[in-house]
Chain A
């Protein structure tokens, strides 16, 4: 399935891209998390939060054709 993946905050700088189109062969958010982590090991170290179609998503959620996925870190400073 095709997904649109958007990076927010410092993940944009780390990945060097704002948005990408992805051919996703998995099924769940967890599968996508593993793919993104593999490509960007820094993400998991910083903590990786995910939203699907602008709603906060758990790893067990199913993904569907055309979903827009946002990936962003918890910001730690104050």
Chain B
């Protein structure tokens, strides 16, 4: 049952309408990593009425998170992020079911943590986790949106298994530059990145994503560049996979 009054603002948009809102309300989104990008995304998912949100993280709230991680405040310092996040998400929208997983996603546990999701929002901060999500999502046929941001910049890659290019298709190199606190991250970068990525997630959940791409967001200059991607038939992860509409 869709709460028409609560979501009237987005139902009024043709792309969403009642049908799209029903899809959102019937969806489960796993947010892996609820730091900069993931925390904003989780809040947006709760506000727009995603039916169930699973927050996955093993970190605690630290003072140097607060300038960019929107779900947390000074009262949350030292607490597990998933606990603080769940409380905030329920306070925003009590009709949303929130599952908490106080654990890091690894190659070993990735499938069990994301199983049953309609979509995975990758808010992690390293390529080992991203490739683990990439593989698990292809094994389980779950679409996902990869996000990353550092300093003023962000990148967003939505992936529909068997339909659009995956991270392996693109052969994205594993480059670990260090933490956001070391390299630097400006809060507008995570806001811009999450806004674009959540829009991509909604496109997937409402069945409207047609082609793969990389978006490169520049929060300093206020620009977003788009690079169209295509699947690689020789990809070891998805080369032989055929897309099945959900």
Contacts and interface: CB of A to CB of B under 8 A. Distances in A.
Interface of A: 8-10, 45-47, 49, 51, 54-56, 70, 72-78
Contacts of A75: 148-150, 153-155
Interface string B164-175: 010000101111
Contacts of B214: 49, 51, 56
Interface of B: 33, 35-38, 123-127, 147-151, 153-155, 165, 170, 172-177, 179-180, 183, 185, 214, 216, 218, 225-230
B131 to A, nearest CB: 12
Contact of B230 (A45, A56, A73, A78): A56
Contacts of B154: 75
A76 B146 CA distance: 11
Given A10-B153, A72-B216, A77 B227 contact: no
A77 B165 contact: no
Contact of A78 (B33, B151, B227): B33
B34 to A, nearest CB: 10
Contact of B173 (A54, A74, A77): A74
6 tightest A-B CB contacts, nearest first:
A78-B125, A77-B150, A47-B173, A9-B153, A47-B175, A75-B148
Given A51-B227, A56-B228, A77 B185 contact: yes
Nearest to A44: B173
Contacts of B33: 78
Nearest to A13: B151
B80 to A, nearest CB: 17
Contacts of A51: 214, 227
Nearest to B153: A9
A49 B153 CA distance: 15
A69 B21 CA distance: 40
Nearest to B214: A56
6 contacts: A47-B174, A55-B230, A77-B177, A77-B179, A78-B124, A78-B149
Nearest to A51: B227
**Residue among A54, A73, A78 facing the most chain B CB atoms (10 A cut-off):** A78
A70 B149 contact: no
B123 A78 contact: yes
Contacts of B180: 77-78
B128 to A, nearest CB: 11
B227 A54 contact: yes
Nearest to B155: A75
A74 B149 contact: no
A49 B157 CA distance: 14
A4 B5 CA distance: 51
